[in-house]
Amino acid sequence: MIPLHERLPVNLLAASFNNTSATYKYYLLLSILSELEGENTVIPKHWIFAGMVSLAWYTVNYFHVSFGKQDQLQRAISQIQELEGITIDEKQELVKQKIINSLNPSTARAIQYFDQEVPHRYLSPWFAELKGNRAEIYRCSANFENDCPYALNEQNLTINPRWHGYLVEHAGILKAFCYWHLSLYLQKHNPNVPDIPYKLIKPARRNKPLKTA
C-alpha cells in the first residue's frame, strides 16, 4: 500500500505502473526519489536518466538479469559500460556521477533516448485524455494541472511543491513499493532466475573484521 494523503491523488502513483512494457517507469521514480534526498526540486533530466542507469547497473552487469528484448535501459547500460570503462561492481553514486560528467557524446546519446519516452509517459494517469501526447503533457504539467507530481520542460523536471513533502516523507515506503513491482515485472522475464528481489540493489560491502591476538 502507498501511504494515503487527503489532498493528493496518490492512487495515480500506483496506476503509473499499469501496462508496463519496460523497466523505465520503475527506475524513473526511484531516480527521482534519490534526487529528493539532496533536497533538489528542480532536477536536470539528464541527472534523472543517469540515475536510472546507475540504479540498474548492478542488476544488469553483475547478475545479468534480463530486462526484456525491447528494453533500452539494459542496452544503454551495456553501451555506457563499454564507452566509459566503468567496472561492473562500481558504486551506484559513482556510476551516476561518471555518466553526468562524461564528455563523450555517445554516452549522452545513450541516455537521451529516455527523454522522448519516459518522463511524460509516467504522467499518463494524470492526463489520460491526452493519450501520451508528449507536447500536450509538457504543456499541462507546466502548471501542475491535475495535481501531477512534477512539471516538465526540455531541460528539467520540477517537483510539484504540493507533492514534495509527501515524496520526501514516504520515500522509503515508495521505494519499497517500486522495487516490489519491479521484481514482479522482472520475474516474468526471468522465470528461471531465483531471488530477483535480492538482485536489485548492490549490498553494502562489509568491513573485514579486525584480527585479534
What is the per-residue pLDDT across 113-132, written as a single tens digit (0 to 9) for each?
Answer: 999 999 999 999 999 999 99
Residue 209 has pLDDT above 60, yes or no: no
Res. 210 pLDDT band, cuts 50 70 90: very low
**Whole-prediction pTM:** 0.93
Q: What pLDDT score was predicted for residue 205?
A: 64
What is the per-residue pLDDT across 165-207, written as a single tens digit (0 to 9) for each?
Answer: 999 999 999 999 999 999 999 999 999 999 999 999 988 764 4
Pairing, β 42-44 against β 150-152: unpaired
List the one residue out of 118, 126, 53 whose CA is nearest residue 90: 53
CA distance 155 to 54: 20
**Cell triple for residue 13?**
502513483
CA distance 205 to 105: 33
**Cell triple for residue 144?**
501542475
Number of H helices, E strands in the chain: 10, 3
CA distance 52 to 36: 14
CA distance 111 to 105: 10
